[in-house]
Structure 1
């Protein structure tokens, strides 16, 4: 599972770079036909407005508070997610966790292997996919020892997710999959981690969803209080 993750200022900067780049590409592909019917200056101004709006929303302080350091993200808190909306990519703040039908707590994870079959997640998986950026996540083993997991290349981690709206508030869950060899000694589940070049397809391509739901994530580095272990 994934019950707590953490972000840093570099995470926010990477979100900014990613959204601005992919947003422009997404807009260009979506508006090819419309742009032919418009004055090109108007089309360019539309793209500039989208970029300015993305920059405003992606101010690091707007998502993570004071600049610098590392911030933990807990269930029920607001966090930055990337999704597609109205022909372009956006970063928004959403609450972590779907409310349970019985009102007892939150569903914070969804199993990637079965999410599309469950009523709670089906429509979200089919039509409302998102990406949750992080520096890394924490997991505890059966002895209650705490481990952190990060990418071996030190890049931002992108966790696959889906979202929905409850009582006027957008909420997300993180998809999990069977743990790979780098995580399995600590826990049998891990977040479904995407590569940077897969993000656009995950968010926008409904036909690729099934493929991503069954992918094996990259091997991670794990660190405990008393040791650091590379890969496995």
Structure 2
């Protein structure tokens, strides 16, 4: 089965939330510890986590490394029942901040999906420590009407006000695993081919 959300975007636009995350990462890891832009599996990128210090950003690698495989997504509907994800659902939830995610249609045309009227798009995720290094995966769910014509799955998108409950409240997090994500704006990002 083809993975959904195989790439997403984190661009350094003049957005207060983005700048705050970038500054937090640079304070913790130093300038140049990672590069904003199009994020691909295995890349190191910021995720939001909760600890006794509150909600903060950490740099983690995208994907759980398995023998001969890299797991970049987990199905929201079944993650709590799967041995690979059960502990993460219980106590290692994260949020992947982005400025949108990419998906390709059956003709291999690339589209950018964003929240209408918002600079940020937050995706629910899980993290784990594997081979001594933190890594994350993105939770996916059934596609809503804004995504169905491109793919049957989509990331579990959180609204801004759902970020803290997802990270800090197990009951709310359990409810979010079953919710339908908000509708998204779709933009064709492929250059238009001119025949004349």
- TM-score, length-normalised on structure 1? 0.74
Structure 2 unpaired stretches of 5+:
none
Q: Pairwise mapping of residues 1-232 of structure 1 onto structure 2 (< 5 A)?
A: 1-10=4-13, 13-15=16-18, 17=20, 56-57=27-28, 61-64=32-35, 71-100=37-66, 103-224=67-188, 225=190
**Structure 1 pair 216–60 and aligned structure 2 pair: CA distance change class (3 A):** farther
Q: Does the CA-based 8 Å contact 1:12-1:60 persist in structure 2?
A: no
- Higher share of residues assigned helix: 1
**Structure 1 pair 59–153 and aligned structure 2 pair: CA distance change class (3 A):** farther
* Structure 2 counterpart SS, 1:149: strand
* Structure 2 counterpart SS, 1:64: coil
Q: Does the CA-based 8 Å contact 1:58-1:91 persist in structure 2?
A: no
- Deviation, 1:120, is 0.4
Q: Does the CA-based 8 Å contact 1:3-1:75 persist in structure 2?
A: yes
* Structure 2 counterpart SS, 1:90: strand
- Provide the aligned C-alpha RMSD in A: 2.4
CA distance in 2, matches of 1:159, 1:219: 13
* Structure 2 counterpart SS, 1:10: coil
**Structure 1 pair 203–11 and aligned structure 2 pair: CA distance change class (3 A):** farther
* Number of equivalenced pairs: 188
Moved more, 145-154 or 7-16: 7-16
Structure 1 unpaired stretches of 5+:
20-51, 66-70, 228-232
- TM-score, length-normalised on structure 2? 0.87
Q: Does the CA-based 8 Å contact 1:15-1:58 persist in structure 2?
A: no
Q: Does the CA-based 8 Å contact 2:124-2:158 persist in structure 1?
A: yes
> How big is each residue's C-alpha offset from its partner over 1:141-165, in whole Å with a ceiling of 9 and x where there is no partner?
1221211111111320000001000
> How big is each residue's C-alpha offset from its partner over 1:17-66, in whole Å with a ceiling of 9 and x where there is no partner?
479xxxxxxxxxxxxxxxxxxxxxxxxxxxxxxxx97772388854435x
- Higher share of residues assigned strand: 2
